[in-house]
Amino acid sequence: MKIEKVFLYLAIFMIGISVFFMPATEVPDEVKHADTAWHILYPDSDNILDWEAKNDIINNPQPADADVNWSLFKQFFIDKIDTSQISTRLNFDIKSISYLPQFIGMYIGKTIYPSLGIILTFGRLINAAVYIIAIFYFIKFIRSGKEVLLFVSLLPMMIQQAGSLSYDVLNYVAIAGFFTFIINLLHRRTIGMKHFILLLLLTILMVAVKLNNIFLLAVLAFINFECADKLLFLNPFLKKFQKNRLVVLSILSLLISLVAIIYIHQTVGIKQFISVMFNTLVNNNLNGALNTFLTTGIFGYFGWLTIPLPLWVVFIDIFVLTILLLVDKNFELPKSEAVALGMVFPVQVAIIIAIMYFLWTPQILGENASISVGTQGRYFTPFLLYLYPLCAGWKKNINIDINEKTKDWLLIGTLIFNYVIYLVLIAIYYWF
How confident is the model at residue 95, as a pLDDT?
87
Say whether the peptide bond before residue 63 is cis (omega within 30 degrees of 0).
yes
How confident is the model at residue 289, as a pLDDT?
84
Check the CA dihedral 170-176-179-185 and report its sign.
Answer: negative
How confident is the model at residue 415, as a pLDDT?
98
How confident is the model at residue 59, as a pLDDT?
64
What are the C-alpha distances in Å from 319 to residues 323, 379, 415? 6, 21, 13
How far is residue 162's CA from residue 105's CA, in Å, rounded to a whole number? 14
What are the backbone angles phi and psi of residue 115, rounded to the nearest 5°?
A: -105, 155
How confident is the model at residue 60, as a pLDDT?
61
How confident is the model at residue 403, as a pLDDT?
86
Mean pLDDT of successive 10-residue stretches along the chain, which has 432 residues: 95 97 90 90 75 63 67 85 82 90 96 92 98 98 96 98 96 98 96 96 95 94 94 94 93 93 92 94 88 90 92 96 89 91 95 93 87 93 96 81 88 98 94 84
- Secondary structure of residue 405 in the 3-state scheme: helix
